[in-house]
Amino acid sequence: MRPVERAWFAVAAAMAALVLMPLVAIAVIASGSSGDVWPHLLSTVLPRSLRTTALLMLGVGLATGVVGVGTAWLVTMCRFPGRRILDWALLVPLAVPTYIIAFSYVEILNYSGPVQSALRAVFGFTSARDYWFPEIRSLGGAIFVMSAVLYPYVYLTTRASFLIQSASALDVSRTLGASPLRLFFRVAVPLTRPAIAVGVSLALMECLNDIGAVTFFGVKTLTFSIYDTWLHRSSLAGAAQLACAMLVMVFALIGLERFARRRQRFDAGRGKHHAPSRYMLTGLRAWLAFAACALPVLLGFVLPALLLADRASRRLDDLLAPAFLSAVWNSMALAIIASVATVAISVVLVYGLRLSRSPVLRFGATVASIGYAVPGTVLAVGILIPLARFDNMVDAAMRDLFGFGTGLLLLGSGAGLVYAYVVRFLAVAYGQVDGGFAKISVHLDMASRTLGRNAGRTLTQIHLPLIRPILLSALLLAFVDCMKELPATILLRPFNFDTLATTVFEAASREAFEDAALPSLAIMLVGLLPVILLARTSAASFRDRASARTGTPGARARVARA
């Protein structure tokens, strides 16, 4: 290995070690003594939390699978009124964090909300004892609200698979007289099974990460139990032991997702590919298909957005309130710093792999990209103790040497929170950057070396300008994810430091829903940016790939240039 390659290897390995450190810290903390807390956790809290978490994941997995696969099939394989709009509108609920839709539906469906008020007005009921209404603050309510905003993960991966899967199998089935329903269950779904597994795995990872919705609804999942054990029982070791149990579930999901991705590449690589021949739906069938695709958008975005817009319109004076402006500034500052650091680290890791195909470095890059699957609550447990010890060590050294202390240098300044964001969302930027570098021919590297440029100048003068749009896309995605992150922010933020996400959580916790409306609407509007980008890039990607596979020269050139 050349000296330059060794240097890139060392830097990339150090960054991968920083990402791995919280997971190692959790194992070390969990091995310590938790006093009398662990026997109680093991006998009561852990079994109940595991059961509740399993039921929540089962419900969300089934609901997101049914809605995501069903809507993807309808917009991909059928023609009906509004199909083109719904094709991208079905992605819009991704802009709504689970904690925002949770408190929105509490406001919509509670006793004083518009739905129950309308029921009492129409039927003449005078009290809640006169009629039955489902309780939104329950396990069923949590499954409903989470599924309403997480189904796009399944929709996106399944829709892409329907678009690029082998057309020959579908054509043969149609020739043999298979009905649309039989074609869906016997041919399309089995071919798309890996993509469905990927989408459901991503949705379940987000489900495990949630702390806002389960807190509002009183659903005691593992995430809630970690949060409660840490803050209310003052047992960090007990929280770490529960975090280890959650990590087992997380790594199982990672294994499923990675296995499904390998199967997906294999299944999509064969056969004749072209835009699918769509079934023409008319009359009642067409309007039923429209309703089936419009309902998830209505429940997952339109209703919460209308409610928040109405509540926010009553508090427009808060736009210039110091507390709101401070939360906006804190959120943006943290998100900008973390997203820039995330993309920079991703570039170093990917370029280090490009220069050196070391198995050790490849393993480090793989480890560095699993942070997205680790819930923010678990990361916070693993980050707090190492950074607190470092802060205390620096503070003690400064007092001994110079007579003054530095206090909590990292945790007190927000650096610990930025660190958590980088670890959590590195995979988001890493995937984008890795895809961008993969499209650049290695011959450009060779030509640059021939002209006397070293590895650093090749990166800054050749590679980075070529992938600038991809870097901007990665920055945007990481920025929005940091803006929406709640669990790590609650646990690692400095004292008297509020972001938009924590402002929403605190206001909703004391049921001051009007106070939460404006910051919630701001988060949703920011969240729409990557959804629009995602809708545009996924459509353009399919057009280019499908045209290239059918032999269109212009499309091949666009794919090559991309």
Number of structural domains in the chain: 1
- CATH for 494: 1.10.3720.10
Prediction pTM value: 0.83
Host domain of residue 358? 1-32+322-498
Question: Is 478 inside a domain boundary?
Answer: yes
Residues of the chain with pLDDT below 70 are 1-5, 8, 12, 33-36, 164-179, 257, 260-276, 364, 536-562
Count Cα atoms within 13 angstroms, Cβ side, for 109: 20
Measuring CA to CA, which residue among 472, 502, 520 is closest to residue 310? 520
Answer for the pair 296, 150: CB distance below 8 angstroms, yes or no.
no
3-state SS, one letter per residue, for 74-129: HHHHEECCCHHHHHHHCCHHHHCCHHHHHHHHHHHHCCCCHHHHHHHHHHCCCCHH
Residue 458: per-residue pLDDT: 80
Measuring CA to CA, which residue among 429, 433, 436 is closest to residue 475? 429
Answer for the pair 237, 29: CB distance below 8 angstroms, yes or no.
yes
Question: Is 153 inside a domain boundary?
Answer: no
By CB atoms closer than 10 A (0-12, 13-18, 19+), residue 3 is exposed
Distant-in-sequence, close-in-space partners of 245: CB < 8 Å, separation ≥ 6: 46, 50, 222
Residue 176: per-residue pLDDT: 57
185-240 tens-digit pLDDT: 777 777 788 888 888 988 998 898 888 899 989 899 998 888 888 877 778 788 88
Question: Is 110 inside a domain boundary?
Answer: no
Question: Is 172 inside a domain boundary?
Answer: no
Would you give the distance in Å from CA 158 to the centre of its chain? 17
Measuring CA to CA, which residue among 280, 562, 265 is closest to residue 432? 562
Measuring CA to CA, which residue among 288, 297, 277, 301 is closest to residue 68? 297
Question: Is 61 inside a domain boundary?
Answer: no
Tokens of residue 169, six digits: 């199998």
Instruction: Catalogue the long-range contacts made by 502-508 (C-beta closer than 8 Å, 24 or more residues apart).
Output: 502/327, 503/323, 503/324, 503/327, 504/99, 504/100, 504/103, 504/212, 505/99, 505/212, 505/215, 508/99, 508/102, 508/103, 508/106, 508/212, 508/216
21-51 tens-digit pLDDT: 888 888 888 877 666 677 778 888 889 999 9
CA distances from 43 to 226, 235, 241, 245 (A): 15, 16, 13, 14
Distant-in-sequence, close-in-space partners of 197: CB < 8 Å, separation ≥ 6: 256, 257, 259, 260, 263
Helix/strand/coil percent split, the chain, to 5:
80, 0, 20
Question: Is 412 inside a domain boundary?
Answer: yes
Spatial distance between the Cα atoms of 493 and 423, rounded to a whole number of angstroms: 16
78 strand-pairing partners: 279
Task: Please report the sign of the dihedral spanned by the C-alpha atoms of residue 122, residue 128, residue 131, residue 134.
Answer: positive
3-state SS, one letter per residue, for 240-291: HHHHHHHHHHHHHHHHHHHHHHHHHHHHCCCCCCCCCCCEECCHHHHHHHHH
Spatial distance between the Cα atoms of 379 and 510, rounded to a whole number of angstroms: 26
Spatial distance between the Cα atoms of 245 and 47, rounded to a whole number of angstroms: 11
Residue 300: per-residue pLDDT: 94
Answer for the pair 150, 95: CB distance below 8 angstroms, yes or no.
no
Question: Is 527 inside a domain boundary?
Answer: no
Kind and range of the H or E run holding 52: helix 46-77
Question: Is 239 inside a domain boundary?
Answer: no
Q: What are phi and psi of 327, to 5 degrees?
A: -65, -40
Residue 303: per-residue pLDDT: 94
Answer for the pair 432, 473: CB distance below 8 angstroms, yes or no.
yes
